[in-house]
Structure formats: structure tokens, C-alpha cells
Amino acid sequence: MQKLHAIVLWLIVLSMGGMTNLLAQGPPITADKPIMLSSGTILFKTLTEVRSTNQTTMTIAPLMVHYLPTSNILASVHIPIEWAGDEEQALGLGDLELMLKYQFFRKDGMGKTLRAVLKNLQTFPTGDARDEHAFVSGKYQNYSAVVLGYESIRYGISNELGVKIINGSDRNELRYKLGFGLPLLKPSYPVNQINLYFEYQTSWFYQMDEYELLYAQGIQYAKNRWTIETAIQFPLKHSFNQEEARKHSLFFGLRYVI
């Protein structure tokens, strides 16, 4: 009886078009998912990253505003503030980003859903240029990807495959992300959920024949329209020289749905 109640509750949330920002769990922390919210929804979010390398420590705190004109189209703007803890102690505007997402596939079942989106992220060089491994490149960038995700009331799986092209650079990137989400509480409405995330990212800089394999462990708490999250990401393997190597990244995020 409890299992039937959970499935019925999940279908109610699904029929609302995702207004709660949750099905089995919330959006991944360092990855992406194809689950869309309802038409007319506005989402304010930030995901601050503190990245430590063998050379310096960099921090970026973006303000992101997402808007859904329809239930399968999302448009967003990302306005980042960057701080580099090197000798320059630089603080300023990062590279502005505009993103579009289109959900082109959706198949729902009893207590589960499979969806896919196309996404395009355009980066503009509004910040002061730094090195190629920093957040600010000083170059126009375009990232195009397809995101495929499966979600049930017990777990979620997200996949993302994309290509990043940087104008005038030899660090173009082929990127693949794989994420697993595990809700710790029973589905409920209003939303009250704790989620664990296990997320991988593989980046191949094919022109330089360099690669990096990252792993992120995160936890997320969603309550009504609010979501808070944190994660630590570190390299499992890479081919960069020691000076360019990343030690780890710390993520701190906040989301609010209108």
C-alpha cells in the first residue's frame, strides 16, 4: 500500500510539470538533467566553485536566471563574479553566458520517465583573460550537448555528451558527464528531500591530446521551492603537467523556484 501511495504521489508531481523542481530527486549539482519545469517558471540559482590547483586558488560565483517560456524550452543568463587568489588578487566580472535548452524527447511510465534535451551554451569574453585552465578565457566559446536522463522514484541517471569550441584556442574539448542521484527520503509533496549525488566528468582536449577524469560527491536538500547543495570534486586521472593539475573543487549552491 505504501508503494502504491508513493507511485500515485509521484504521478501527481509529474502532472504538475515539475513545479517542485523534483521527481525522484533534484537537479544534479555539477552535471545537468533533461527534466524541465512548467511553462512560465523562473528559477534563480547560484553554484559557487572554489577551485584549487597547484598554482593558485580561483573562485567563481555566478548569478543564474532561468526562464521557461514553454514546458520544453529553457533560456538562461549567467552573470559570474570571479576572484583569483594569486599574486594579483583579482576580483571582477567573469565571462557572461547565455544558454538555451530544448526537450525533444519524453517517455513517461509508471513511476519513471526518460527524457532528452539539446543544449547550447554561448560564452562571451566579458572578463579579464587569464590562463587556459581558469574560468575566464578572454575568448568566445560555444558548448553544444545532448543530455539524456532516466528517473524513477528510487534513483536517477543523467548522461551528457558535448563539444566545447573556443575561438582562437587549441583547447577545444570533447566532454562526457555521468551522474547518479539517490533520494534518501520517501517522495512527498510539498517537497522535502535529501539527495546524494555521484557524478563523473571526462574531458578530452583532442588538439593537445590531454584528458582529465573528475569525480564529484555531493549532497542536496530540497524543501518546498528552496534547494541547497554542496559537493567536492577532484581528479581521478589527468595528463596535465603538475603545475596545471587541479587539486580539488568545492561547490556551494542555492536554488529558488518562482
Segment 118-132 shows an average pLDDT of 83
**pLDDT tens digits, one per residue of 52-75:** 988 888 899 999 999 999 999 999
The CATH number of the domain holding residue 207 is: 2.40.160.40
Provide the pLDDT for residue 134. 59
Question: 181 pLDDT band (50/70/90 cuts)?
Answer: very high
Domain that holds residue 246: 2-257
Residue 141 scores a pLDDT above 70? yes
Number of domains the chain is built from: 1
Residue 182 scores a pLDDT above 50? yes
Residue 5 scores a pLDDT above 50? no
Beta-strand pair 96-109/90-93: unpaired
Supply 69's cell numbers. 517560456
Which residues on adjacent β-strands are paired with residue 97? 78, 123
Alpha-carbon gap, residue 240 to 211, rounded angstroms:
7
Look at 213 and 16; give whichever has higher pLDDT.
213
Provide the pLDDT for residue 86. 59
Q: Provide the Cα torsion 92, 227, 197, 178; round to 10°.
A: -60
Q: Is the Cβ–Cβ distance between 51 and 246 less than 8 Å?
A: yes
Q: Is the Cβ–Cβ distance between 214 and 235 less than 8 Å?
A: yes
Of 168, 169, 172, 170, nearest to 143 by C-alpha is 172
Alpha-carbon gap, residue 199 to 108, rounded angstroms:
24
Provide the pLDDT for residue 175. 97
